[in-house]
Amino acid sequence: MPALEELTAAWEHFSREPTFRAELDRLLREYVGRPTPLTEAARLADHVAQGCRLRVFLKREDLCHTGSHKLNNCVGQILLAQRLGKKRIIAETGAGQHGVATATVCALFGLPCEIYMGAVDVERQSLNVFRMHLLGAKVHSVKDGTATLKDAMNEAMRDWVTNVGTTHYVLGTVAGPHPYPTMVGELQSVIGQEARAQIQAATGRLPDACLACVGGGSNAMGLFRGFLDDPEVRLFGVEAAGEGVDTNHHAATLGKGRPGVLHGARSYVLCDDDGQIAEAHSISAGLDYPGVGPEHSYLRDSGRAQYMAATDQEALDACRLLARCEGIIPALESAHAVAGLPRVAEQLPDGASVIINISGRGDKDMGTIAKHFGAEVSS
Amino acid sequence: MTNAPAPSISRIAGAFARARSQGRKALVLYLTGCDPDFDTSRRLLLAAARAGADILELGVPWSDPSADGPAIQAAMRRALATGGGMRAALDLCRAVRVANPDVAVVLFGYANPIFVRGTAKFAGQAKQAGADGVLCVDWPADEDPELAQALGQQGLDLVPLIAPTSTPDRVKAAVAVAGGFLYCVSLTGITGSQLPNLDETSARVRQVRELSDGRLPVAVGFGIATPADACAVAGFADGVVVGSAAVRVIERAVNEGRDPVPTLEEFVAALRAALGPRIEKP
């Protein structure tokens, strides 16, 4: 708790301090590659709209350095850790994108970096494990529990409470104890701020809807934060339905979960009647989390945002659709957002415009995708 | 309505008072409920009480024990695999209470199993099961008073964990809603770690006593593995908590195919002998 209080106070101070902001903005521009483009996806829109007028815009977080939005958060948190005098960085990772992003910024700043990753994820995301090694990070394979993202978070928390004096824990999503949901949301809000300006430049007005995938929910919160105060902009999150929300193999926490406490936050969780956290399932390791950020729970309950779920198969199909319509191969996480587009479009008036957050690129998923489409690739 | 008079002193307070009157420190023993299974766990808890544990901490198995080290994580996995959980822990508490009306029992666990039941319902169930107190690792009592209030309505104590890094204000806030005893964590870290330099822990116990005006006894836990450790900590604390080391005794016996009860009983007796001058013979 004192570490969280220290972090809360530090974030409140530095996030408003001009020299900190200036350094963060410079890194976002010169290192991360911001602003990322907003790309109109006309062929995808035609395919989905089927005769209606629909404009679809893709927020291209896949074009960030390291291939996903995760770097936005890491750059900010590691700058903050430096201000706090922390000499060592740890993080959890699911798909490996956040681990790679953390290892990347640690390399840039010359900080030792240790990444906790579930043993199951180490297996299915071996390419990202190698990337982390190449960047000089140590990767711990976590075998406890379900050996996935939630267990990696447990192990990172154990490390943090043990080494709290010297170490900063770069939590990768808008979940966990305060101030993480706030801090990560604010660091990712650059996505929504850019998208807001870009769509107004492109269409002369705000979009009718924003669409993003939700695991812990950081890319969605980053986009949504640009539009929370505009009630005319509808917000849609897409969770992972895995093999279907009526099976036991999904990660639809907001759709099928209940209020609970996990990793220091009160939010929706997947658990049984006894309170034991359930195993989440998704083809995409980054959505495979039985909790969700507390701000999403609030947006769900207040009705400000609506949440749906896309199955593994729908995500695979959407991945191929975006590849063939637009020449963009999204991460399987982001493909869930694309899969939600037809259901969102149905609810919008003729001539509507939609922003989809393409939170990451699909290179890391080639092995998984190839397997499902019956091809063999060597990674 | 019950005609039985309310006990004038809680079992937890009674345990510390009895230890004091015997010129020794109280032994608090943690075991994970249902490790390795319900019936063995029941026999282990009763054996621990028989061997001299004054207070039993009955660990409630949870899927995500982020404050626990490898020994208790493994115990929880064994327990969950044989149907352990909050429901079984409450049943186990009741079974222990039926067999031993005197030993103090604290349910020790994480927030979610309590939260999904609802605090009022949980407090009622804990009371009915014969528990005396509750320790919840990830429920900051000063931020959310709901659990403390629900337990208070049932006359149950909320035992707080006080970290070495807790600021004086937070210690005071925790003490304000606490009952039974204060659980001072010896180190920044997880259960089952190496015991740190005891000079700092001893100074910390003095500070916590001052901050709490000596209102409640102070027990120290995390990292106390041997009778010698227990003896050293008993030099400055009112109570000594042993958890992971006891769980490892059970694990070793189970892995070797032995009944863990006799070896645990022996281990607890050795801990108890290290805590003070006289051992009561029944």
pLDDT tens figures, B59-71? 999 999 999 999 9
Residue type, A261: V
CA max distance for chain B: 51
Residue B236 belongs to domain with CATH number = 3.20.20.70
Which residues of chain B neighbour A153 with C-beta distances below 8 Å?
66
Q: How far is Cα B122 from Cα B104, in angstroms, rounded to an integer?
A: 18
pLDDT attached to residue A373: 87
pLDDT at position B139 over 70: yes
User: Based on the number of CB atoms within 10 Å of its own CB, is B115 exposed (0-12), middle (13-18) or buried (19 or more)?
Assistant: buried
- Does B165 contact A1 at a Cβ distance shorter than 8 Å? yes
What are φ and ψ of residue A101, in 5° steps? Answer: -65, -40
Amino acid, single-letter form, for residue A136: G
Residue A293 to residues A155, A218, A270, B177, B261, Cα–Cα distance (Å): 19, 8, 13, 29, 44
Question: Does position B2 have pLDDT exceeding 50, yes or no?
Answer: no
What integer is the mean pLDDT of A115-123? Answer: 93
Q: In this model, does residue B114 exceed pLDDT 80?
A: yes
Categorize the per-residue pLDDT at B267 as very low, low, confident or very high, splitting at 50, 70 and 90.
Answer: very high
Inform me whether the pLDDT recorded for B194 exceeds 90. Answer: no
Rg (CA), chain B: 17
What is the pLDDT of chain B when averaged over all its residues?
93
How many Cα atoms sit within 13 Å of B79 on the Cβ side? 32
Half-sphere exposure of A98 (CA within 13 A, CB side): 33
pLDDT at residue B282 greater than cutoff 80: no
Model pLDDT, residue B66: 92
Q: Is the CATH code 2.160.10.10 the one for domain A2-31+69-184?
A: no
Q: Which of B77, B112, B166 sits opposite A260 (nearest CB)?
A: B112
Residues 6+ apart with CB under 8 A from B39: none
> Is A275 in contact with B138 (Cβ distance < 8 A)?
no
Residue A194 has pLDDT above 90, yes or no: yes
Rounded to a whole number, what is the distance in angstroms from the first to the last CA of chain B? 34
Does A144 reach chain B within 8 Å, measured CB to CB? yes
- In the block, tokens 């004038």 appear at B8
Q: Provide the token pair at B167.
A: 């600021």
Domain count for chain B: 1
- Mean pLDDT, to the nearest integer, of A94-120? 96
Give chain A's length.
379
**pLDDT band for position B8 (cuts 50, 70, 90):** low
Residue A313 CB contacts under 8 Å (≥ 6 apart), including other chains: none
What pLDDT digit, counting tens, does each position of B21-35 carry?
Answer: 999 999 999 999 999
Query: Is any Cβ of chain B less than 8 angstroms from the Cβ of A273?
Result: yes
Q: Can you give the pLDDT at residue A145?
A: 84
Tokens 């604290």 correspond to: B106
Rounded to a whole number, what is the distance in angstroms from the first to the last CA of chain A?
A: 42
Tokens 């609970």 locate to A260
Pairing of strands A38-40, A54-60: antiparallel
Instruction: Name which of A9-18, A104-113, B134-143 the model is least confident about.
Output: B134-143
Q: Does pLDDT of B1 surpass 60?
A: no
Catalytic residue among B54, B57, B132, B238: B57
Instruction: Report the alpha-carbon angle A290-A296-A301, nearest 5.
Output: 105
Find the angle CA(B51)-CA(B52)-CA(B57) to the nearest 5 degrees.
Answer: 105
Angle between helices A2-14 and A70-83 (to 10 degrees): 100
Mean pLDDT value across residues A344-364: 96
Would you say A175 and A217 are in contact if contact means Cβ atoms under 8 Å apart? yes
The answer as to whether B167 is a domain residue is no
Specify the CATH number of the domain A34-67+189-372. 3.40.50.1100
Which of these, B36, B68, B30, lies nearest to B246 by C-alpha position?
A: B30
Predicted confidence at residue A375, as pLDDT, reads 76
Helix H or strand E encompassing B104: strand B104-109
pLDDT digits (tens, 9 = 90+) for A28-64: 999 999 999 999 999 999 999 877 899 999 999 999 9
Above 70 in pLDDT, residue A379? Answer: no
Beta-strand runs (E) in chain A = 38-40, 54-60, 88-93, 113-118, 138-142, 167-169, 209-213, 234-242, 258-262, 265-269, 305-311, 352-358
Say whether B117 and A275 touch across the interface (CB within 8 A).
yes
Domains A2-31+69-184 and A34-67+189-372 share a fold: yes
For residue B17, the enclosing domain spans 11-154+224-269
Residue B66 CA to residue B62 CA, distance in Å, equals: 10
Are the beta carbons of A348 and A208 closer than 8 angstroms? yes
Query: A265 touching B, CB under 8 A?
Result: no
CB contact under 8 A, A275 and B163: no
% of residues, chain B, pLDDT over 70: 95
Give tens-digit pLDDT for A164-192: 899 999 999 999 999 999 999 999 999 99
CA distance B78 to chain A (A): 11
Closest CA to A68 of A89, A42, A109, A99: A99
The structure's pTM equals: 0.94
pLDDT > 70 fraction of chain A, expressed in percent and rounded: 99
Return the percentage of chain B with pLDDT > 90, whole number: 85
Which residues does residue A138 pair with via DSSP β-bridges, in sequence order?
A114
| Residue B29 belongs to some domain of the structure | yes
Q: How far apart are CA B73 and CA B225, in angstroms?
A: 17
Helix, strand or coil, per DSSP, at residue B116: helix
A281-290, B57-66, B94-103, B193-202: least confident range: B193-202
Name the pLDDT band for B188 (thresholds 50, 70, 90): confident
Does B197 reside within a domain?
Answer: no
User: Measured between CB atoms, which of A3, A154, A259 is closest to B64?
Assistant: A154
Locate tokens 């009592």: which residue?
Answer: B141
DSSP at A271:
B
CA distance B108 to B219: 15
pLDDT at B74 > cutoff 70: yes
Reported ipTM exceeds the 0.95 cut? no
Average pLDDT over residues A237-250: 96
Judge: B116–A158 Cβ closer than 8 Å, yes or no: no
Q: How far apart are CA A35 and CA A60, in angstroms?
A: 9
Domain ranges of chain A: 2-31+69-184, 34-67+189-372
In the predicted structure, residue A260 carries a pLDDT above the cut 90? yes
Nearest-Å Rg of the Cα atoms of chain A is 19
Give the model's confidence band at A378: pLDDT under 50 very low, under 70 low, under 90 confident, else very high.
low
Give the tokens for residue B131. 């528990």
